[in-house]
Amino acid sequence: MTKWINRRGFIARIAALLALPLLSLRSARAQTPAADALLDKITGGAPIQTGRVRLEIPALADNGNSVSLRVVVDSPMTPANHVKSIHLVAPKNPRPGVASFFFGAGAGKPQLTTRIRLSGSQGVMAIAAMSDGSFWAATTEVAVTVSACWDAS
Amino acid sequence: MAARISVPQNARRGDQIEIRIAIQHPMETGYRVEDNGTAITKNVINKLLCRYNGAEVFRAEMGSGISANPYLSFFIVAAASGELRFDWVDDTGVAGSERSAIIVA
Amino acid sequence: MSSPRLAAWLLALLFTCICSSTSAQPAARPVPLKSGIEFTGAEVRALQGDEFANPGMLWISRGSALWDQPAGKEGRACAGCHGEAAAGMKAVATRYPQIDRASGALINLEGRIQQCREQRQHAPPFKYESEELLGLTAYVRQQSNGMPLSISIAGAAQPHFERGREFYYQRFGQMNLSCAQCHQDNWGKKLGPEAISQGHGNPYPIYRLEWQTMGSLHRRFRSCLSGVRAEMLPQGSPAYLDLELYLAWRSGNLPIEAPGVRR
């Protein structure tokens, strides 16, 4: 009991507790300044929360030229509550913005599959923009290796 | 551009139907160089639209991070019989288009 | 050392040298036979197995359209002579490479398509790696999907087979490596992050993720030669045709995979 009332320790613990929600928001940031700038552009500066988005992508890519992925977002897709768009960001690619997908009124469940290029190992991000103005994201680490042999064919 | 689309011919109203599209296109990044050193100009399919009976249901804005011979799969809700129309364009302005009829019971 | 013993020792050394020379390497298949698809990752396997997502299907679509397209002065399409490809081309790809009866030369499927274009359709032939030749070759191969090869290495084909075998065991390039050293002696082991395959030709032409497009078996030979820092021959070279025949024999009863996808 006396330890908690100790002023220096008390302030440090309160500061640590307050920092926790900020940390969970910051963990949904990208790994490069270019990607961070892109995320700000997508969200208009709004925070990106982790969750509701599932990014299925192999942990080890056969070849960086073509990596299949699937994005699934948890959303009822009603007029009042739906996914407006899904954005794919590869922070370490020369162009971190990979693609943006926009859903219209007749769109079905928010589940998307495509193949992307990854210039190296990185945490690929899928960000969903919801109709209520919130942003949710998932980041999945992918290891990308270079081909064993030089090919000048 | 060669393109293949996969759309079910028939569906029940309210069904979730999967649309798949594969387009033959190099999605040239602009980072490659010829053997003599000259850069190969960037050229990617930058936009793809899917319209269902005229209304836009899905739009993809793509960059060079999408693999060559782009492949997309997404879902729409079967609402009414009619036509699904796909239109896409690349950086040089070359456009492609495909249509598929759908019968919704 | 005494003279007779020295002579015996030298003879033994000479014998060993002769036996290890490339021309004495016997034709051999890896045991057990495994398609390259077993050495790829889950993603490549999924791509090859998905009829719609398989990128090679885009070339097959093109090939299928070309099959019906009139060509040359007389406006002859492939279909004009061969009918529907599903019937007319069934099992055809399993018999290549083969000796061309008219010329006596060894000819592969690409060569036959080029020959038909030029000599029977009277149209300009398609070059290797052209969209047209890749599309038609892939389309014809697809009609033999799942079938093992049925080639002959006897008679006029035999010298080609022997030359192909010698090529297979010959060291090439700055790295001084032969096909056999990777694909016969070390298949299954890792080269960097990749598992070395047995190097069979059964899925070709393939959509190769590394190329981001479809490519021929001869292009793959060029890839391997550049990989060991050797000079690459052009597609269609006699040496590649001989090697293709050797590989066709070497792949035993492995089925044709069409369209093939590899990394």
What is the pairing mode between strands B3-6 and B71-77? unpaired
Is residue B87 situated within a structural domain? Answer: yes
**Cα separations (Å) of C4 from C8, C10, C11, C14, C17?**
6, 10, 10, 15, 20
C-alpha C209/C-alpha C223 separation (Å) is 13
Q: Is B102 on the interface with A (CB under 8 A)?
A: no
Q: Can you give the residue ranges of every domain in chain C?
A: 30-51+149-262, 57-142
Does C57-142 carry CATH code 1.10.760.10?
yes
On the question of pLDDT at B87 being above 70, the answer is: yes
CB–CB contact C57 B4 (8 Å): yes
Given A94, A108, A116, which is nearest B66 (Cβ)?
A116
Q: What is the pLDDT of residues B38-86, one digit of tens each?
A: 999 999 999 999 999 999 999 999 999 999 999 999 999 999 999 999 9
Give C-chain residues touching B22 at CB under 8 angstroms: 52-53, 55, 57-58
The B residues from 14 to 53 touching C (CB cutoff 8 Å) are 20, 22-24, 26-27
A59 touches chain C (CB under 8 A): no
Q: Which has the closest alpha carbon to B100: B78, B67, B69?
A: B78
- Which residue bears the tokens 């008679």? C155
Distance CA C101, CA C21 (A): 34
State whether residue A136 is helix, strand or coil.
Answer: strand
Domain C30-51+149-262, what fold?
Cytochrome Bc1 Complex; Chain D, domain 2 (1.10.760)
**Measured between alpha carbons, how far is A108 from B75 in angstroms, rounded to an integer?**
5
Q: Enter the pTM of the model.
A: 0.89
Task: Judge residue C83's burial from the number of C-beta atoms within 10 Å of its C-beta, 0-12 exposed, 13-18 middle, 19 or more buried.
Answer: exposed
**CB atoms B68 and C212 under 8 Å:** yes
Stretch C73-79: mean pLDDT: 95
pLDDT at C21 over 60: no
Catalytic residue selected from C17, C81, C182, C224 = C224
Domain assignment present for residue B47? The answer is yes
The residue that leads in pLDDT, A97 or C15, is A97
SS3 of residue A61 by DSSP: strand
User: How many whole angstroms separate alpha carbon C139 and alpha carbon C144?
Assistant: 9
**Contact assessment for residue B58 and residue A101, using Cβ atoms and an 8 Å cutoff:** yes
DSSP C94-137: GG-SEE-TTT--EE-HHHHHHHIIIIIS-SPPPPTT-HHHHHHH
- Please tell me the predicted confidence (pLDDT) of residue C9: 73
Other C-beta atoms lying within 10 Å of the C-beta of residue A6: 11
As averages over each run of 10 residues, the pLDDT of chain A (153 residues) reads 53 54 49 92 96 97 95 96 98 97 96 98 98 97 90 91
The minimum CA-CA distance between B21 and chain A, rounded to whole Å, is 10
Instruction: State which residue of chain B sits closest to C54, comparing Cα positions.
Output: B22
Helix-helix angle C238-250:C158-169, to 10 degrees: 90
pLDDT for A62: 87
CATH number of B87's domain: 2.60.40.10
The pLDDT > 90 percentage for chain C reads: 89
> For A29-144, which CATH class?
mainly beta
Residue C37 gets which letter from DSSP?
Answer: G
- In which domain, by residue range, is B18 found? 3-29+42-104
pLDDT at C66: 97
C92 pLDDT above the threshold of 60: yes
Please report the pLDDT score of residue A21 as a whole number. 45
Domain spans of chain A, in order of start? 29-144
Residue pLDDT, tens place only, C163-200: 999 999 999 999 999 999 999 999 999 998 899 999 99
C224 is catalytic: yes
DSSP SS3 for A101: strand
Note whether C30-51+149-262 and C57-142 share their fold.
yes
